[in-house]
Structure 1
């Protein structure tokens, strides 16, 4: 490991994960070496919620939807007759977990139905500018993991193209991805609603519809990687079973490959959770990581810092 490598990942403690990552990057970038991978094929895919920024006790976009649903319900109290709307207003995660996924997504769709993409971006930016995590007491935008930001930079310095492949709404994540992670909007893949082309004052705009187009989780992550990237990643990072298909797809290709899970085991600096987190559990991935060839990064042991101070 060279001194420049250490400087690039200074928030990572020295140990097996950091050493393995640096060794992998050195091997795939060494021209003439047996594991050399051309820059065009150096694709790295990262989940977002719980992998690049804090997702506990709920994903950031769920907090955003909660705030928007309360606003809508105040305007139209009849919405509270729908179980998912009522559960969101009450903050009842147990009730939400018991409902069909389509019903749970209905309130989130309702909050931006009819908006143009630009209007949705402005709405999300306004909320993010003032919203804070309920227990960390810091803006959600300060919830990005500093070691992961360093890793993304390190990969890009070494010719990798970094993508976000998230179950979160693609337009919501695009609002913050470039500022927080250095990942441009065209390299964000996520869940999406259907849209229609409209004309306003002679200008064409895209307007969001209250109907799911793609829920980018589990197997759908792999489908969308094929649709939007067109190359199989050689490096992947996730934190839940929702990322397992993407990770196994990454590891299933030819040549050198690497994939990691982030294990949330640091109750002091962040949160400790895995298999019992209903919104994003890590069960199969936790139990079978070694069998599948997936590395495990301990937030508690492998990271010197979690958030930027």
Structure 2
């Protein structure tokens, strides 16, 4: 027969339990990356920050050189089943046709107006570029910013029925804060439109407009009827900030090679290569979307479904493995995906 615990022993057990609970809460409070599982990805981030911010480290990086670049679509927020900016452009087509009625019978505007989702999804890239050029140019920069703000305020994602700006990845938001808390300046380097992302980057990511590098069109200086100057957006591409355009844009707009870079697709490959090629401690990371239950699953790396949106090829995965980049598995490395996850 087992002895019955004394009141004193029971009290000690309660006290021990309370201490363990307090210790767990303290650890959670001091963990700068609470939405990350403890694994290779989280460990790589913490080790990199420690190595580059400890003055006694051989790989110490001065505050002025602490640059971290982030792709946006698929890296900081949801990009499936279609890029958010493309959704914006499609939603602007009816307004455009009201101003220019002949477009109603011209492709690809006719297909967009039909509302046939399958047909819209099947539009070739050339047609999408026509839609983007027509809906992103021909107005002043101020008018464009106002249109984007108004759209973001009312538009909702069809799956979660939330504003698109609410669909940012909580682990990446924590990473942005963690890096900034250690003196890193964080930049968005995106293939998306620079003017589009700058509208909300500060409010959503804490990244001011001047720290957004994106695909940019030509603007022209003009005067309105009252003689006030303004910039008008013209249908001519100045910088295609994708693939090799990313390191080119980084040099043009930032002027320093990043010490850390984060992406999720083949369009980010050159940015990660460029970052890793620098001297000293460098961190190159790719987000792999492999969680269909909590977000989406696509590759085609590692046998995941193929996609035209944010493709992560097996060749990119193999390069990451060989070059010492870290692949972030949403399924395995993230405790939660969105801030609203339970």
Q: TM tier, shorter chain?
A: over 0.9
Task: Name the residue aligned to 1:254.
Answer: 279
TM-score (norm 2): 0.84
Task: Name the residue aligned to 1:116.
Answer: 140
Taking the aligned partners of 1:126 and 1:106, their CA distance within structure 2 comes to 23
Q: Is the 8 A contact 1:193 1:211 kept in 2?
A: yes
Task: Name the residue aligned to 2:3.
Answer: none
Taking the aligned partners of 1:36 and 1:141, their CA distance within structure 2 comes to 35
> 85-94 or 202-211, which moves further after superposition?
85-94
Task: Name the residue aligned to 2:174.
Answer: 150
Label 1:4 to 1:270 Cα distance change in 2 as closer, same or farther (>3 A).
closer
1:95 to 90, 115, 122: 122
2:328 to 293, 297, 301: 297
Structure 1 segment 1-309 matched on structure 2, within 5 A? 3=27, 7-80=31-104, 82-89=106-113, 90-91=116-117, 92=119, 95-96=122-123, 98-100=124-126, 103-200=127-224, 201-275=226-300, 276-283=306-313, 284-309=315-340
Deviations 1:195-225 (A, max 9, x none): 1001122321111112222221100011110
Could you say what secondary structure the match of 1:272 adopts? coil
Q: Is the 8 A contact 1:48 1:166 kept in 2?
A: yes
The CA deviation at 1:106 is 2.1
The CA deviation at 1:127 is 0.3
Taking the aligned partners of 1:74 and 1:287, their CA distance within structure 2 comes to 49
The CA deviation at 1:279 is 2.6
> 284-293 or 2-11, which moves further after superposition?
2-11
Taking the aligned partners of 2:112 and 2:85, their CA distance within structure 1 comes to 12
List gaps (5 residues or longer) in structure 1: none
Taking the aligned partners of 1:5 and 1:242, their CA distance within structure 2 comes to 36
The CA deviation at 1:287 is 3.3
> 131-140 or 239-248, which moves further after superposition?
131-140
Label 1:99 to 1:35 Cα distance change in 2 as closer, same or farther (>3 A).
closer
Q: Is the 8 A contact 1:47 1:166 kept in 2?
A: yes
List gaps (5 residues or longer) in structure 2: 1-25, 301-305
Label 1:298 to 1:287 Cα distance change in 2 as closer, same or farther (>3 A).
same
Label 1:82 to 1:282 Cα distance change in 2 as closer, same or farther (>3 A).
farther
Taking the aligned partners of 1:256 and 1:224, their CA distance within structure 2 comes to 22
Deviations 1:41-89 (A, max 9, x none): 1110000000000000001101000100233235545325554434544
| Alignment RMSD | 1.9
TM-score (norm 1): 0.93
Deviations 1:99-140 (A, max 9, x none): 43xx43221121132211111111000000010111121111
Taking the aligned partners of 2:95 and 2:317, their CA distance within structure 1 comes to 39
Label 1:77 to 1:203 Cα distance change in 2 as closer, same or farther (>3 A).
closer
Deviations 1:260-307 (A, max 9, x none): 000111111111112211132111322332012211111111111111
Taking the aligned partners of 1:306 and 1:204, their CA distance within structure 2 comes to 44
Taking the aligned partners of 1:14 and 1:5, their CA distance within structure 2 comes to 15
Deviations 1:212-262 (A, max 9, x none): 222211000111100011100010000000000001100011111011000
Could you say what secondary structure the match of 2:199 adopts? helix
